[in-house]
Chain A
Amino acid sequence: MLSIKNLQAQVEDKQILKGLNLTINPGEVHAIMGPNGSGKSSLASVLAGRDAYEVTGGEVEFYGKDLLELSPEDRAREGLFLAFQYPVEIPGVSNINFLKTAMNEIRAYKGLEPLDAKSFLKLSKEKQQLVEFDAKLVNRCLNEGFSGGEKKRNEIFQLAMLEPRLAILDETDSGLDIDALRIVANGVNALRSKDNAFVVITHYQRLLDYIVPDFVHVLFDGKIIKSGTKELALELEEKGYDWLKESVHAPIV
């Protein structure tokens, strides 16, 4: 579904992604790990279309379309979803109206009628239960006064409602206690299917105990320097990143 070839991107003249390759197929869960500043969140931002990032080379194809040519909203309408590392608080915008607008704009893009109020409410209730999201939060203003954990859970609730084909979770585990982590992971697991895929960006192996990945990639200095299966995450937990960094910096003999 997603094919990233030699992706290069910069922010304010600083090169962040330096030739990144990654292919994702439906039904897969990919974990991306790596030290601070290696470009993990930048990759998520570039894919979602944050305008501070300038793509300087490479290509990204999403279901046959040139993803980089699409506006952020069209990427979402094509089925890409970014769960934010720091979800934004927007006082004055109600959570539920926001979701209804998002859902109906996505439906309109696909040529579907807007969901009527009753069906939307029913769907919202189902998904709230699926991801254990508090009904009280649904009716509040978007993330306003939410705790860190509630914000992350709201991201997963939105993910459940919008049913994207590819979801990127950008350090969704950061700032979560064990219980919240488990709830978020259960939500993701409940949403996994053979038709969708997940990219899980994380610092810690712990999340991968709950969301078991098919592939683990190590991102360093703007490139993927090692890929493997879930055992790679365990190895990283034990040995850190230095042994991999050394192999990258080692002079070519």
Chain B
Amino acid sequence: MTPQVTLPIYDDLLKDFSKLEMKAEHEQIRQKRRNALEVFKRTGFPTRKHEDWKYTAVTPYLQANFRTNGSVPIAPVAVDYLKLAAIPGLDCYRVVTVNGVLQPTEVALPSNVKIRSMAEAQEDAGLLKHFGSVSVLDNAPFAALNTALFAHGFFLEMDANTSLDKPIHLVQVLNSDAHAFVQPRNLVVIHAGANATLIESVVSTPGTKVFVNSVTEVVLKENAQLQHYVLQMAEKETQLIQQNDVSQSMHSLYSNYTFSLPGSSLIRNNLNVALDAQQTETHLYGLYLGTGNQLIDNHSLVDHKMPHCNSNEMYKGVLMDRATGVFNGKVFVQQDAQKTNAFQQNNNLLLSDEATINSKPQLEIFADDVKCSHGSTVGQLSKESMFYLQSRGISEQSARAMLVNAFAFDVTEKIGIPQLEKFINHKITAHIPALN
């Protein structure tokens, strides 16, 4: 297929790559960049002709003249961005990035957790071992592009057999009033027996025009546990393509909670979990609230490669106005993956006649002794429930908010942090549209 050379950003990115070649970098990383660029050049930016991008057109968002890599502003932001991301009452270790650039931490982290910029850690044996080892780039043009041309990002490591007394809150601020194309690359390694909670909040300063193409690789060693929360609440003129690639070792537990809230005009989450060893447990919870003309696309893949693994996925969507939701959840159960339990559920609530959902649960089973199920529903608020609440004196607006919160409850009740659960419930209530 011919890449879309008509997009100015395509040429700019290729130029960036030749400049990058002149910079000093570990040969191993450089080689991965080169290979990834070749993968990207084969397809270029995906169009709706690619099955995985059938409902999500990205090229309309890539027409502008973007500042890329070196020319993206990295100065500290004047606005009090921490307010944008604040979760009331939450006690946490806070780490901030601005357009992917790690900022100095105000309060030192405990010694069992290390967070460094990718550049600073590029000679680290652990980084070199895991960087690019989890992400599969075939059929993932954005991940290939990120691997070829990432700038900034962080490397987070949690020491073996340790835990933290409170979550790490990673505030990712986007800030640029000129169009910027930002490609951070992150690596999270949770060593054997360690337990961590990471909350990522993506926010933007008012008027920011940033297109994010980020990749985060997550490695869970034996017996490791990670509760991984992702809160997407950047503003309208931002677009987020966020890839999360996870590799799980034996007895590890990975829980992902992805909340896509009103704001970003385009959100595409690619969440890929490879169950590379036996006896792993995986929970993927998602809640997307779309308003205006938002397009929120969640693609997930749970790849059961080994026996005795459990995975459970539940995504709920509430779509208002002219918003569009896309859910594509793949579950692969490979031939060796006997005794697999794999469940998947996607429920959607359409609150407007003009809202759309494209839901595609996809289960492919090659083993014969497994328990798997999947389901997808689309519905509206029950009139009978509305009337019941209203007949008790509750306003139509509050009744709708109560029912939407109740719809989301299956996901929100799984949030292990009360302050965060409250925060999300408030966000839901705040976005229930006023009556026409």
Chain A residues with CB under 8 Å of chain B are 48-51, 71-73, 75-77, 81-82, 84, 87-88, 90-93, 98-99, 101-103, 105-106, 109, 141, 158, 162
10 A–B contact pairs at CB < 8 A? A50-B387, A73-B392, A91-B406, A92-B406, A92-B407, A102-B392, A103-B393, A105-B393, A105-B398, A141-B406
B385 touches A88 (CB 8 A): yes
Which partner residue on chain A sits nearest B412 by CB separation? A92
B261 to A: closest C-beta gap in Å: 19
Cβ contact of B393, chosen from A51, A84, A93, A102, cutoff 8 A? A102
Interchain CB contact (< 8 A) of A162 among B388, B392, B402, B407: B392
B406 closest partner in A (C-beta):
A92
A99 to B387, CA, bound (A): 15
Report the separation of the CA atoms of residues A103 and B398 in the bound assembly, to the nearest whole angstrom.
Answer: 13
Which residues of A are found within 8 Å of B394, using beta-carbon distances? 73, 98, 101-102, 105
CA of A92 to CA of B287 in the docked complex: distance in angstroms?
A: 15
Nearest 8 Cβ contacts at the A-B interface: A92-B406, A92-B409, A76-B393, A102-B392, A72-B390, A106-B393, A88-B388, A73-B390
Quote the shortest CB–CB distance from B409 to chain A (angstroms): 3
Residues of A with C-beta under 8 A to B407: 92
The answer to whether B409 touches A162, judged by C-beta atoms less than 8 angstroms apart, is no
Shortest distance from the beta carbon of B349 to any chain A beta carbon, whole Å: 12
Q: How far is the CA of A51 from the CA of B391 in the complex (A)?
A: 11
B161 within 8 A of A: no
Tell whether, in the assembled complex, residue B406 and residue A93 are in contact, meaning their CB atoms are under 8 Å apart.
yes
Query: Is there contact, CB below 8 Å, between A90 and B388?
Result: yes
Residues of B within 8 A of A73 (CB): 390-396, 399
Residue ranges of B at the interface with A (Cβ–Cβ < 8 Å): 382-385, 387-396, 398-399, 402-403, 405-410
List, in ascending order, chain B residues with CB within 8 A of A76's CB. Answer: 390-393
What 14 additional pairs, Cβ within 8 angstroms, besides A48-B391, A71-B396, A90-B402?
Answer: A48-B387, A51-B383, A72-B391, A73-B393, A76-B391, A82-B391, A88-B384, A88-B388, A90-B406, A91-B409, A102-B392, A102-B393, A105-B398, A141-B406
Interchain CB contact (< 8 A) of B410 among A48, A75, A92, A102: A92
Q: How far is the CB of A109 from chain B (nearest CB, A)?
A: 7
The residue on A at minimum CB distance from B408 is A92
Contact between B387 and A101, CB atoms less than 8 A apart: no
Q: How far is the CB of B230 from chain A (nearest CB, A)?
A: 23
Q: Which residues of A contact B383 (CB under 8 A)?
A: 51
Quick check: A101 and B402 within 8 Å, CB to CB? yes
Contact of B390 among A71, A84, A92, A103 (CB under 8 A): A71
Residues of A within 8 A of B392 (CB): 73, 76, 81, 98-99, 102, 158, 162
B393–A109 CB distance below 8 A: yes
Cβ–Cβ < 8 Å partners of B410 in chain A: 92
Please judge, given known A-B contacts A90-B406, A92-B405, A92-B409, whether A98 and B389 are in contact too, CB under 8 Å: yes
Smallest beta-carbon distance A76→chain B, Å? 4
Q: How far is the CB of B4 from chain A (nearest CB, A)?
A: 45
- State in angstroms the CA–CA spacing of A51 and B392 once bound together: 15
- Report B365 CB to chain A, min CB distance, Å: 30
- Per the bound structure, the CA–CA distance linking A141 and B406 in Å amounts to 10
Answer whether A101 and B398 are a contact pair too, CB < 8 Å, given A88-B385, A90-B403, A91-B409: yes
B409 closest partner in A (C-beta): A92
Chain B residues closer than 8 Å to A106, beta-carbon distance: 393
Q: Determine the distance from Cα of A76 to Cα of B406 in the docked complex, in whole angstroms.
A: 22
- The listed residue with most A CB atoms (<10 A of its CB), out of B394, B403, B408, is B394
Asked if residues A93 and B402 are in contact (CB atoms below 8 Å), the reply is: yes
**Chain B residues whose CB sits within 8 angstroms of the CB of A93 once the complex forms:** 389, 402-403, 405-406
CB contacts (< 8 Å) of A91 on chain B: these are 406, 409
Residues in B neighbouring A75, C-beta threshold 8 A: 391
Q: How far is the CA of A194 from the CA of B407 in the complex (A)?
A: 42
CB distance from B433 to the nearest CB of A (A): 18
Q: Nearest Cβ distance between residue A27 and chain B, in whole angstroms?
A: 23
* Residue numbers in B under 8 Å from A82 (CB-CB): 391
Contact A98-B402, Cβ < 8 Å, known A91-B409, A105-B394:
yes
Q: Closest CB of chain A to B196's CB: distance in Å?
A: 29
Return chain B residues, CB-CB under 8 Å to A158. Answer: 392
Best-buried of A72, A102, A158 by chain B (most CB within 10 Å): A72
B414 to chain A, nearest CB (A): 13
- List chain B residues, Cβ under 8 A from A98: 389, 392, 394, 402
Write the nearest CB–CB distance from B136 to chain A, whole angstroms: 37
What is the bound-complex CA distance between A197 and B172, given in angstroms? 60
| Chain A residue with the shortest CB-CB distance to B392 | A102
Contacts of B408 in A (CB 8 A): 92
What is the CB-to-nearest-CB distance from B280 to chain A, in angstroms, rounded to a whole number? 30
**Distance (Å) between the CB of A74 and the closest chain B CB?**
8
* Docked pose: A75 CA to B406 CA in angstroms: 25
Residues of A within 8 A of B385 (CB): 88, 90
Please give, as numbers and ranges, the residues of chain A lying within 8 Å of B389 by CB-CB distance: 90, 93, 98, 102
Q: Say yes or no: A105 contacts B395, CB within 8 Å.
A: yes
Q: Tell me, in angstroms, the Cα distance from A82 to B410 when the chains sit together.
A: 30
- Give the chain A neighbours of B382 by CB distance below 8 A: 88
| A229→B392 CA distance, assembly (Å) | 31
